[in-house]
C-alpha cells in the first residue's frame, strides 16, 4: 500500500493487496444468502420481550440446546427464547 501512495477505489485496494502476495476476494451478490427465519412465528408473536439483535447486550448459547439466552440490559436477568423451528433441526 505504501508503494501506491493513494488508494481511491476498491480496484486500487485489490491491486495493492495482491502485490503483498495475499488473495483478494471481491464479493459478488451470489456470495450472499437470504437467511430464513429460524424462529417459530407463533412463538415470536406471543413473546413480550422479543429478541432483537440491536437491543441485546449479552447472548448465551448452549451446546445441544435450541434456546437463546439473552439480556437487553446488563441489569436484567437472562431471558430465554426458543429460536429454532423443529423443521430446521
Residues 24 and 50 in one domain: no
Residue range(s) defining the domain that contains residue 21: 1-32
What is d(CA 40, CA 55) in angstroms, rounded to the nearest whole number? 20
Judge if 38 and 28 occupy the same domain. no
Does residue 53 sit in the same domain as residue 77?
yes
* d(C-alpha 16, C-alpha 24), whole Å: 10
Q: Residues in the chain, how many? A: 89
Q: Say which residue, 2 or 65, is predicted with more confidence.
A: 65
Please check the confidence at residue 88 and state whether its pLDDT lies above 60.
no
- Number of folded domains in the chain? 2
pLDDT > 90: percent of the chain: 11
pLDDT range class, residue 10, cuts 50, 70, 90 = confident
Domain identity same for 9 and 26: yes
Answer whether residue 72 shows pLDDT above 80. Answer: yes
User: Tens digit of pLDDT for each residue in 43-65?
Assistant: 778 877 777 888 899 999 888 88
Say yes or no: 37 and 2 in one domain: no
Supply 84's cell numbers.
429454532
Alpha-carbon distance of 14 to 22, in angstroms, equals 9
Same domain, 63 and 38: yes
Amino acid at each position: 500500500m505504501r508503494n501506491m501512495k493513494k488508494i481511491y477505489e476498491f480496484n486500487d485496494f485489490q491491486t495493492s493487496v495482491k502485490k503483498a502476495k495475499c488473495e483478494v476476494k471481491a464479493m459478488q451478490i451470489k456470495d450472499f444468502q437470504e437467511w430464513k427465519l429460524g424462529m417459530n412465528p407463533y412463538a415470536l408473536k406471543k413473546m413480550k420481550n422479543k429478541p432483537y439483535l440491536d437491543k441485546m447486550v449479552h447472548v448465551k448459547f448452549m451446546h445441544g440446546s435450541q434456546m437463546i439466552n439473552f439480556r437487553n440490559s446488563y441489569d436484567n436477568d437472562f431471558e430465554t427464547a426458543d429460536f429454532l423451528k423443529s423443521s430446521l433441526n
